[in-house]
Chains A and B, each alone.
Chain A
């Protein structure tokens, strides 16, 4: 599994297509037949889905050995490695898409990871849990304690998430880095896609955001 292991993954209910709802949204952004690198590919669910349904030439990189075993044993091309150290070897434009789902907030240096992703991929697809989501805001406001939600099911002392951000934060960072947001999907608590990344409502109502990024 990815750094956000079972607990968090399990929270993303499997869709009718057998993959998590956020992965399905990511898959929608990928052109058929393209070259894809899935960073933190977990058990390979997205890669398998993309290669079966969209005929992509997929690669993966995954931290946990269990995840890599599962991937390679089902015929996927996956290496055991760390996004923060093992991405830098790839040449510029090696992939059409570099995907990072629900993992950016677990990186020591999210900015560097974003930079690398948009260098080695013509496009990057990043999904992040939105720490500006209204339920999280309410929890912090009312209880005065670090929020624990269904999708972020960790206590503060055990969470792998070290760099939480809001949808708005990511929009601002992308602007600063000269990364264009080509497309964005905001997913609300009911799993429906709403709003626009730049709207304040998205930052309040979105439980997670899925961004299609491209370096200008």
Chain B
């Protein structure tokens, strides 16, 4: 559908204006605003998205990819702000496990985000100013509700598959529970059915770092002409540690010093790992909005499928008309992921077993931590390919002939 547009890939110190970004953008909630979990109403609102591959005649080959906390809809094409390759290039593309020769891939920027979908940095039509903290608090359910409207807008009744890791995995679970008839297969990766106390704690550290930055200006930095770069960078540094594992950090950096022979007895970045984290923080603020970070981390914190749909029991969330969910599941976790450990995935598997659902589950052995779902993990990719192939067979999706 859409080709990458290198001309638009201008690196910028601040997020580029959505109008200049490649991809599609649609206005939703025009006739009727979307009711949010908080009770507030949002609409009309914008959703930015990308598509790859082609929708087949009976509209049965659509795969929705859900991005993680700081991800966006540039799954395959060059990122318009950073100029880096798409974040899931390894898994998605022609001949890849999520084969764009075979499937019609959709990925949208979540609402509350800062890459073109309506979020706190966009203009509130009611005031003509950026929403800032006037933006309503959103949930994973709200993000998925907006995606559902987008999918309907594209004329698709049932998605062949919804797939995503981390926060994307939460959205996958939300899709499968809220709209089971609209999902044939679901692939939640490195995720959980609820955000744990430890994870909420880490998010709170990040939010406090942002709000402690004087340049945050009570959330009004866009009007004040400042940016809470330091606070957002610290938030990113703390979060980034949780995405890795101790062995991975050790292998990469150990206690190696950065461009020096001895320690300086000061607070410069003596160690390579410090320098690396500082770099992660600095590059992050170029592409991400601080208020978006507050809203999206909050959405993850509030996520609790068992409480929202199961009366406190997760398996009840997967029940439909007294029977188990019709959705075919494939869960994957990574052995060294301490942010969303295997036990979280296993709890979901047990809940699915309790309703005798169709479920596959694999823990991938790797020492690369939570971020493994974004990395070159051949076993993981093989599992995704096999699961999707199997589902395609059941769904009657024929394999396109390749030249």
Residue B283, interface by CB 8 Å: no
Looking at the assembled complex, report how far the CB atom of B322 sits from the nearest CB atom of chain A, in whole angstroms.
Answer: 11
Do residues A74 and B390 form an inter-chain contact, with CB atoms below 8 A?
A: yes
Q: Which residues of A contact B387 (CB under 8 A)?
A: 72-73, 75
Residue in chain A with minimal CB distance to B354: A89
How far apart sit A71 and B387, CA to CA, in the bound complex (Å)? Answer: 9
How far apart sit A187 and B315, CA to CA, in the bound complex (Å)? Answer: 42
A-B interface contact total, Cβ < 8 Å: 70
Contact with B354, one of A71, A90, A95 (Cβ below 8 angstroms): A90
How far apart sit A65 and B362, CA to CA, in the bound complex (Å)? Answer: 7
Residue in chain A with minimal CB distance to B379: A69
Do residues A77 and B328 form an inter-chain contact, with CB atoms below 8 A?
A: yes
Contact with A59, one of B358, B365, B393 (Cβ below 8 angstroms): B358
Residue in chain A with minimal CB distance to B358: A77
How far apart sit A69 and B366, CA to CA, in the bound complex (Å)? Answer: 14
Do residues A73 and B358 form an inter-chain contact, with CB atoms below 8 A?
A: no
B357-387 CB mask vs A (1 if < 8 Å, else 0) is 0111111110000000000000100110111
Do residues A79 and B390 form an inter-chain contact, with CB atoms below 8 A?
A: no
Contact with A69, one of B315, B354, B362 (Cβ below 8 angstroms): B362
Question: In chain A, residues 88-124, which have Cβ atoms closer than 8 Å to a Cβ of chain B?
Answer: 89-91, 94-95
Count residues on chain B whose CB falls below 8 Å from chain A CBs: 29
Q: Which residues of B contact A71 (CB under 8 A)?
A: 360
Contact with A72, one of B330, B355, B365 (Cβ below 8 angstroms): B330
Count residues on chain A whose CB falls below 8 Å from chain B CBs: 22
Residue B275, interface by CB 8 Å: no
Write 23 A-B pairs (CB below 8 A) sorted by A numbering: A57-B358, A65-B362, A65-B363, A69-B362, A69-B382, A72-B330, A72-B360, A72-B362, A72-B383, A73-B382, A73-B383, A74-B390, A75-B390, A76-B360, A77-B359, A78-B360, A79-B349, A79-B360, A79-B361, A86-B349, A86-B350, A90-B354, A91-B356
With A72-B330, A77-B390, A81-B346 already in contact, 15 other A-B pairs whose C-beta atoms are closer than 8 Å: A57-B358, A69-B379, A73-B385, A73-B386, A73-B387, A75-B387, A75-B390, A75-B391, A75-B393, A76-B360, A77-B328, A80-B363, A86-B353, A89-B315, A89-B354
